[in-house]
Chains A and B, each alone.
Chain A
């Protein structure tokens, strides 16, 4: 995978990111488990200039004791985009990062052309928890078909503890009236994607985004779990790139079905 690793200074943090490809800019904010480049990133870089951030406090970054709320973290990530000279961009948020992306788009709507929320964790049922435990347990929750996926690496306990504290502090309630008020006002074209086998956030949560957001499309990726981009990368990227190119018009089929012209 031809991603280049680099760092950017923003809002007092030293933020790692991976970049590859050319074309329209697509910024990705990862889930509660930290950054993990998947096959979907590799496919996306063929059409987009992909910038995948490691948010402060995740992965190899220093512990983040400063960000007190998700809106604050979202502001930090806008500053990271500023520091990279990004003006307007497409934004994808995965799970926990879906909430960050929603906050970013609602706080800075002029910066985001279109929003993609992959298995977003901004609305959760009572008792939903981020996956934790040994890699086998994590895989059973992350994937619809863990047997088809390569094994997950053993987590570093220090990283896990650092991230868990941050996630618990920032992830907010399952239903957040303030966030939902902002969602009602957000006119950014938004694509919400859930795998039909998601075992972390029930796919039925998708309907709430559609109910709340004025310009929202909900799509289920069949036979994928929570990590859609890792598990069904071609299906996910085909959907995502079509939406980012055509926004609302992506509902119009333009597939050629002529068999023998």
Chain B
């Protein structure tokens, strides 16, 4: 099993900072922001030393709790400051992006540090549709079309035009291009039947997040069935599972940490706006089974315990959903206890990581 650390750009906020998303930009402190990005590099080097395989980044806007609105910029910075750890962008929010620009920027990264990047393409959390003014009803189809266009831009050798539903270009011919066959390092991210279908049809991996092993197992089962339909079998690295872990020196310590968890949602949205977003974002599903979107909710904990128990849980994760890469947060995004997270990381690197390679 491979292990990735989910780096969120830890902005250590003063206790009186507003919580509701979008967080007022006037509450931002430049020094704390600069410190957050210095910390990003320190943590990148730290997990590289510990032997983590990847460090992952995401795209979120208008909030200090995941302070990486441009994963491409974060990735370029981290790659330059580390030496061998892979950097996974999980990922650019495709439906709010210019897909050609995404294709160009990811190809630039891949050219600057060949072999060091993993690219996930995703639809994005519901609140992000407000960031760049996207109609939620169009999000699914824009994602599918955008992903298809990105892959085409990476692989088509002649200038071409694109007559899409949501995107139209008359001349596309990107430079630079990715170093290798992009399918080896690309993932479609999401639990939906559509994401599984896209990943299977294009022979790329699938990335899932936060759901229970049982629920995510349905999504990976669907993905595997569609891969079989298209005549191939995904390998262990083809499935990424992003999740929260609470790791203590003992099970009791971990339970205590769980009980004391502040339970903060990364992007709190309440009241009528939350209801309206839930009513607007109606195409979410797990392997075709309709599910409500997570709007403003607290993220669940998938792994909790001392090293032995967590290893057993990782083994179950591998068996029940087939994930060969786990992408872990060892503290909720936005919590201020960076030192505590660093202790958990060290514990993971020394007591867990060496014992899960054969899973």
Contacts and interface: CB of A to CB of B under 8 A. Distances in A.
A211 B170 CA distance: 17
B145 A211 contact: no
Given A250-B170, A251-B171, A218 B161 contact: yes
A92 B149 CA distance: 26
B162 interface: yes
A223 interface: yes
A10 interface: no
A223 B145 contact: yes
A219 B148 contact: no
A222 B159 contact: no
A232 B170 CA distance: 17
Contacts, number: 55
Interface in B153-179: 156-165, 167, 170-171
Contacts of B167: 222
Contacts of A193: 163
Contacts of A218: 158-161
B351 interface: no
A253 B158 contact: no
A219 B161 contact: yes
B327 to A, nearest CB: 30
B152 A251 contact: no
A219 B170 contact: yes
Interface string B130-152: 00000000000000010011001
Main secondary structure on chain A at its contact with chain B? mixed
Contacts of B145: 222-223
Nearest to A191: B161
A210 B157 CA distance: 10
B316 to A, nearest CB: 38
A235 B260 CA distance: 56
Contacts of B157: 207
Nearest to B145: A222
Interface string B334-347: 00000000000000
B163 A239 contact: yes
Contact of B161 (A196, A223, A236, A251): A251
Contact of B148 (A206, A222, A232, A239): A222
A3 interface: no
Chain A interface size, as a band, is 20 to 34
A170 interface: no
Interface in A158-202: 193, 196
Given A222-B145, A251-B171, A210 B158 contact: yes
B170 A220 contact: no
A11 interface: no
A41 interface: no
A238 B164 CA distance: 11
Nearest to B201: A197
Main secondary structure on chain B at its contact with chain A? mixed
A99 interface: no
A221 interface: yes
A232 B164 CA distance: 10
Contacts of B161: 217-220, 239, 251
Contact of B170 (A196, A207, A236, A253): A253
A222 B149 contact: yes
A222 B158 contact: no
A223 B165 contact: yes
Contacts of B149: 222
Interface string A19-50: 00000000000000000000000000000000
B158 A207 contact: yes
Nearest to A210: B158
A239 B158 CA distance: 19
Contact of A196 (B148, B158, B159, B171): B148
A232 B163 CA distance: 10
Interface in B261-281: none
Interface in A218-238: 218-223, 232, 235-236, 238
A219 B162 contact: yes
A220 B170 CA distance: 10
A125 to B, nearest CB: 16
A235 B164 CA distance: 7
Interface string B166-207: 010011000000000000000000000000000000000000
A193 B160 CA distance: 10
B295 to A, nearest CB: 27
Contacts of A236: 163
B162 A251 contact: no
A220 B172 CA distance: 11
A206 to B, nearest CB: 7
17 contacts: A193-B163, A196-B148, A207-B156, A207-B158, A210-B160, A217-B161, A219-B161, A219-B162, A219-B163, A220-B160, A220-B162, A222-B148, A222-B165, A223-B165, A235-B164, A251-B171, A253-B170
Given A220-B160, A235-B165, A238-B163, 11 more contacts: A207-B156, A217-B161, A218-B160, A219-B160, A219-B161, A219-B162, A220-B152, A222-B145, A222-B165, A232-B163, A235-B164
Interface of A: 193, 196, 206-207, 210-211, 217-223, 232, 235-236, 238-239, 250-253
